[in-house]
Structure 1
Amino acid sequence: MAETSRPPRTWLVTGVGRGLGRAFAGAALAQGDRVVGTVRSPGAMKELQEAHPDSAHELLLDVRDATAVTAAVEDAAQTFGGLDIVVNNAGAGFVGALEEVGEQQARDHFDLNLFGAMWVSRAAVPHLRANGGGEIVQISTVGAIGAMPTFGLYNASKWALEGFSEALAAEVAQFGIRLTIAQLGGFATDWAGKSMPFAAPKTEYDELRSSMFGTPEVPWPDADPDASPTDADPSLAAEALIAHLSDPDHPLRVLIGDDAREHAALAYAARRDSYGKDGEFTWPASTFRSEATGHSTAAGLST
């Protein structure tokens, strides 16, 4: 249902062709907002445009192309007269032990997951500043807290995404621009399906893959089409993101998904334990407030 207490906002969402990006765009449109969505294939937003002909606009964009990103963000800002919320959703997973990863595969992955979000964020800041402020949302993962064998390239790209985003939050707070890092758990998208890229496997890692995935085979065998999905509907992630942004005091990070909190707790505990039993090192237990971002942070872990 559209909100009546405020004027419609304009969202720029990357990767709207399917999955989470489609869910974010659909939820924004359903509440009366306007959406400019970027896609890789023409017509990928057809259903959304048919349902919302005056408030949904499609842009073809490969976020890895910094020059094209600048032009696309300019186009997006002109479409509805400004930008209010920018969601960096475009990205992909990757499976491969480091020894299996090719140089070009690594560079391509970082171009998409890290640099794409950097170029979009960089291009969006002047428009949000001109608008008096706004929101930049980075779609991250609980995999940005910890790491998992054979997912190291993906983990690295998301850790890097969070590092530059936390710095960006402090840089642009003076302009009324806020950052959200959304750490998602498992959702029923094609992230781990046919769209998942894999490195060429080495037999030395067959046992590791078998222990993790139940098979040494990559790409993974097709899932049973009659099996019920075990991950949550992407629409639930969209609802959670909108609720987060609706809170005027929303924090920098938000965990989204029923499994996200457990994964985060395990990852932070593992990070703590990775320091060993150092008697001279204690995790901070006090709550402090960053003057740059206005976000409160608390920790209560000790070695």
Structure 2
Amino acid sequence: MTNTPRTWLITGVSSGFGRSLAQAVLARGERVIGTVRQAPQVVEFMMQAPGRSFAVRLDMTDSEAVTRELGAAIERAGGIDVLVNNAGYGMTGAVEEVSQAEARHQMETNFFGTLAAIQAALPFMRARRHGHILNFSSIAGIQGIPGMALYNASKFAVEGLSEGLAAELKDMGIKVSIVAPGSFRTAFAGRSILRAEREIAAYADTAGQVRHNIAHLDGTQAGDPDKAAQILIDLVDSPTPPLRLALGADSVATVRRKLHKLESELSAWEAVSNSTAFD
């Protein structure tokens, strides 16, 4: 832990990972700017640690407002040390079932909201040549899941954004870490997950089965978000944080399966892949 209390900006502090992390950070005597969606949540969060917990009410799909309001909040706080892009939601539905509006809302929240928050924080971090950005991905950002392809797309986008961003900032004293949690006991499988309005019978055994499984997962997940919160604080405290942190045994297993599949497929088709040069 640093000697000087840090200022964290955490999106989505009203529940789940965001709430657990904000509480853990505040318990250390540090400051948190937290985003919430509902007016009553503003007062609730600011009362957690008066003078150190600051709430900003935001719709993460309004990118211009996100950048403007978070920039103003950081200015009022006198700077920012850590940005945690946690806000987001999941959606189930086969690609054919998801409407354009549903797809765009998923991307606006999970990807463009993350981008807007980063763009709000970077001028302050660059000015001090210091900072750490944690972007929440998911095991769904590692491996495609039937019935969650749009959620996959939003998290794959966060992964690519984060890797490119890390390369851009590596000489500026600003660190970037991707957090890829598996199944944790948050509201993700409950009130925080949406279903595409349209259902097509042909996908009953794929997307339909995933919808069923998620509905029965809520409240039984193995992962403890409070333990995850402490791990994330330790990650920020580390002088050598990882670019990507698989969080949970199921996430580690997913990454290993994906690596094995990529290596196997690459090897099987390597000769073909290498045969494209001019003679």
Q: Distance in 2 between matches of 1:45 and 1:234?
A: 22
Give unpaired runs (5+ residues) of structure 2. Answer: 274-279
**More off after superposition, 61-70 vs 15-24:** 61-70
Q: Share of identical aligned residues, percent?
A: 36
Q: Aligned with 1:43: secondary structure?
A: helix
Q: Distance in 2 between matches of 1:98 and 1:232?
A: 28
CA contact (8 A) 1:146 1:268 kept: no
1:277 is aligned to 2:274: no
CA contact (8 A) 2:42 2:56 kept: no
Residue of structure 1 aligned with 2:100, choices 84, 103, 110: 103
Q: In the TM superposition, what are the counterparts of 1:56-71 in structure 2 within 5 Å?
A: 56-71=53-68
1:141-167 Cα offsets, whole Å, 9 max, x none, are 121111111111111111111111111
Residue number in structure 1 paired with 2:237: 246
Residue number in structure 2 paired with 1:207: 205
Residue of structure 2 aligned with 1:39, choices 27, 36, 39: 36
> Following TM superposition, by how much is the alpha carbon of 1:275 offset from its aligned partner in structure 2, in angstroms?
3.8
TM-score, scaled to structure 1: 0.83
CA contact (8 A) 1:144 1:155 kept: yes
Give the letter for the 1:9 counterpart: R
The verdict on how the C-alpha distance between 1:149 and 1:276 changes in structure 2, with shifts beyond 3 A counting, is farther
Residue of structure 2 aligned with 1:113, choices 107, 110, 133: 110
Q: In the TM superposition, what are the counterparts of 1:179-198 in structure 2 within 5 Å?
A: 179-198=176-195
Give the letter for the 1:164 counterpart: L
Figure out how many residues of one structure are paired with residues of the other and give that number.
272
Give the letter for the 1:109 counterpart: Q
CA contact (8 A) 1:76 1:83 kept: no
Residue of structure 1 aligned with 2:251, choices 254, 260, 269: 260
The verdict on how the C-alpha distance between 1:104 and 1:48 changes in structure 2, with shifts beyond 3 A counting, is closer
The verdict on how the C-alpha distance between 1:245 and 1:93 changes in structure 2, with shifts beyond 3 A counting, is same
Q: Distance in 1 between matches of 2:92 and 2:35?
A: 25
The verdict on how the C-alpha distance between 1:155 and 1:274 changes in structure 2, with shifts beyond 3 A counting, is farther
> Following TM superposition, by how much is the alpha carbon of 1:196 offset from its aligned partner in structure 2, in angstroms?
1.0
Residue number in structure 2 paired with 1:165: 162
Q: Distance in 1 between matches of 2:94 and 2:267?
A: 25
> Following TM superposition, by how much is the alpha carbon of 1:212 offset from its aligned partner in structure 2, in angstroms?
4.3
The verdict on how the C-alpha distance between 1:232 and 1:222 changes in structure 2, with shifts beyond 3 A counting, is closer
CA contact (8 A) 1:141 1:182 kept: yes
Give the letter for the 1:235 counterpart: D
Q: CA RMSD in A?
A: 2.2
Q: Distance in 2 between matches of 1:168 and 1:45?
A: 31
> Following TM superposition, by how much is the alpha carbon of 1:116 offset from its aligned partner in structure 2, in angstroms?
0.7
Give the letter for the 1:50 counterpart: M
Residue number in structure 2 paired with 1:72: 69
Residue number in structure 2 paired with 1:299: none
> Following TM superposition, by how much is the alpha carbon of 1:267 offset from its aligned partner in structure 2, in angstroms?
2.1
Residue of structure 2 aligned with 1:124, choices 121, 129, 140: 121
> Following TM superposition, by how much is the alpha carbon of 1:43 offset from its aligned partner in structure 2, in angstroms?
2.8
Q: Aligned with 1:51: secondary structure?
A: coil
Give the letter for the 1:49 counterpart: M
> Following TM superposition, by how much is the alpha carbon of 1:252 offset from its aligned partner in structure 2, in angstroms?
0.9
